[in-house]
Structure 1
């Protein structure tokens, strides 16, 4: 399988189909096919390993029985294929009956197809795409490992394919956070808005080298947990974990915010939490009631911060990406930051360079590292500047792992750094942060930062700025009038 031609071949075929419009639909179309192909490959393994294995899929809906083709074999194509896919395959997959007692790997089939669609209208072109996907042998370790890289490129393409980009965090970022938190086999890791599963797979890559025994393999299989609200990224995340040989991908299709945070029991908490929570969103009042009064807000990212706090085990550790608006925001944000300092060990905040998430968003972001081992003694801020030779990150020039090297060099031997009139690295005590009214906008970039504020906060800020500007104008006008009067 040629890695550089797989995706291009499929995209070139789909571009000739009148039913598929744009990269986002092409990727979604490709994704459900990959899921079924990979699921069928895993089922072949489970059938060998488990004498009593029973598939949740009717035989006629299994990939091997409708999509797979041997040379010279008659297969569904044209209108017959379209008829089967639209009226039997999708309807059958969405109607699969599941029970709470079923293993996750069976339940996941139904949830993966709840909102999936077939966009292609030309059955002949659909057959051509199926044939390309069918060429990959996911039970061949060489093919599977090679396809991991291809799948990562597919996920990266999502970043520039419309709104789907919100579900992908650059791999350099997820890998760096996993590197800092150092997950160990036997620990549990969670992402409560997991998107396509980037943090989950970055964790698995670090755990994979720790597998030594059969027991280790079983532990590895149950190391990560995810929840994703939207169907398409949920499908991508499940497929991602299958590719990493997780037979029971514990990824729920749902909203992490729809449960009262005070109801979580100890066995529902985690050793490690890594997240890039959606920010700038707004939650309904009924969702906000799942949180203590002082933590209620419509801002999605703030609510996820509360979930993280409630679902972190004692001695657990966290790496979370948040926008600049959280750092200098007031109201609930101040309450959350005070809680971080007083009840957790908020030890490091990394200010990320702009355009890390381009082209999806230009919002400035930060990584907050904290744990539940002790109370905060000092909080370090470190500004990671744009690498030399870069004006912006982009699809063709994305952020790379080596761009974090300045942080790595500084991390173990921390010292305060001044560059011109600006602090690049500086530590603050809890008392100093309190005196700043928990304004975490420290060691920032010299240029103006983009803000994300709730509507009322934004109105108040504009009113304050207008008042200050009016006062300045009035002062200048008064001085001019005085000068005129003196010259008369």
Structure 2
């Protein structure tokens, strides 16, 4: 989450778009992202050139040597009209034709991208503003993306809740991706989960890049993401490419439809699927409806996760609270399926403010492993009360943060066996959950300790009230005396 000077710079750039006539938030993000992408291509190329020079090895150039002004560092110094001509007629066509084999996610979704900045003066202002953004740090880059996405006015009405990056990172650290995983987000948005997963692997399994087979897997067959919004697909593809994944499998797909035939293909699902919005019930896969007959997307996505995971595959998925306690047959059946036929490991309840300012819904994270044969003996519950940010619309950083505790405890579950129901985390035996109709609400099992409060005898309290009354009367008398003087 960005604050202070960086946030002000981004706001000023957003205002340039707005006053220049580009007022659709998705279009602003799209054009903003193209320019960020062009700038970062140049920065990445400069780093590779320096590394090659330092190591004394040959560097395969990304930019044609006969077209120096394709690079941000060159065209940014040109006069406005000349800069506009080069960006519109040379730079933009160049980035659209990167990965010319036509099979990469990038080439698929850049093909119909349109340069919409209307005037040289506006482009010049935007280039000056973006040139002042420090995008070298991976976290800062992600924070800027997240802040841009938070500006999408429709986010709270079409079901596309933007998952905060610190929540994404927590979920990734809970499931610990491995170099051999095949990772999917069936409702990927801007590919936040996939970006965080590759960051985790770089930080914790850097040696995978020394293995030719694992490196090939990382770049071509590890990451899958699906969405029905082509703008999101474009932004997601650029996001992954800029984070160093050469060829993610990002596709336009309605994951819940009959056209999605994936079955037992992935080893890890990371998702925050839509909770509401339109659903073409007639197009929903019959395989999913056999598991849970419903129009609720949050239940259908859980059924989808079970279908697309390989045996032994894991899932960390955000669901609205209603999934935990809903009394319909569909709600009960999906909870029963997770518990009786697979291994439900954890239910982490999150406060409603996590998705503010664009949604106030209460949510939870379900972590489970697909077994097909059961295996749930007890379920770990955690009552998250703070995530490091205020739970109002401002979402300012605060000291209270349960996330480190959640990660530490989940990675050491043996130490949780003796935790009492009055504490923030504890185990619940599966038999107790069965007896409660598979209810997964933490408050169903949490015990509250009430402190015994000792009150004074009524005669003592009455005496105090009399004393106060006498003080008030004395005060009134004093005021009267002052007025009559």
TM tier, shorter chain?
0.7 to 0.9
Where structure 1 has 5 or more consecutive residues not aligned to the other structure, the ranges are: 137-142, 447-488
Q: 1:10 to 1:289 in 2, by over 3 A?
A: closer
Within the alignment, does 1:163 sit opposite 2:149 as a pair?
Answer: no
Matches within 5 A, 1:247-266: 247-259=246-258, 263-266=261-264
**Secondary structure of the equivalent of 2:357?**
coil
Structure 2 residue corresponding to 1:27, chosen from 15, 26, 29: 29
Would you say the 8 A contact 1:10–1:129 is kept in 2?
A: no
**Secondary structure of the equivalent of 1:417?**
coil
Matches within 5 A, 1:21-420: 21=23, 25-38=27-40, 64-65=69-70, 69-70=74-75, 73=78, 76-77=81-82, 84=88, 102-104=102-104, 107-112=105-110, 114=112, 118=115, 120-133=117-130, 145-146=136-137, 148-164=139-155, 166=160, 168-209=162-203, 210-212=205-207, 213-215=210-212, 216-222=214-220, 223-259=222-258, 263-266=261-264, 269-294=265-290, 295-329=292-326, 330-373=328-371, 375-386=375-386, 392-397=391-396, 402-411=401-410, 412=412, 413-414=415-416, 415-419=418-422
| Distance in 2 separating the partners of 1:108 and 1:182 | 27
CA deviation after TM superposition for structure 1 residue 244, in Å: 1.7
CA deviation after TM superposition for structure 1 residue 204, in Å: 1.2
Would you say the 8 A contact 1:20–1:26 is kept in 2?
A: yes
Please give the root-mean-square deviation of Cα atoms over the aligned residues, in Å: 4.1
CA deviation after TM superposition for structure 1 residue 155, in Å: 1.5
Where structure 2 has 5 or more consecutive residues not aligned to the other structure, the ranges are: 447-485
Would you say the 8 A contact 1:173–1:401 is kept in 2?
A: no
Partner of 1:468: none
CA deviation after TM superposition for structure 1 residue 103, in Å: 3.8
Q: What TM-score results when the alignment is normalised by the length of structure 1? A: 0.72
Aligned residues, how many? 420
Deviations 1:427-471 (A, max 9, x none): 33443333322222233699xxxxxxxxxxxxxxxxxxxxxxxxx
Greater Rg by CA: 2
CA deviation after TM superposition for structure 1 residue 258, in Å: 2.5
| Distance in 2 separating the partners of 1:280 and 1:236 | 22
Moved more, 20-29 or 283-292: 20-29
**Secondary structure of the equivalent of 2:386?**
coil
Deviations 1:325-363 (A, max 9, x none): 111122222211111112110021111122111111111
**Secondary structure of the equivalent of 1:283?**
coil
Would you say the 8 A contact 2:276–2:296 is kept in 1?
A: yes
| Distance in 2 separating the partners of 1:236 and 1:181 | 25
Q: What TM-score results when the alignment is normalised by the length of structure 2? A: 0.72
**Secondary structure of the equivalent of 2:339?**
helix
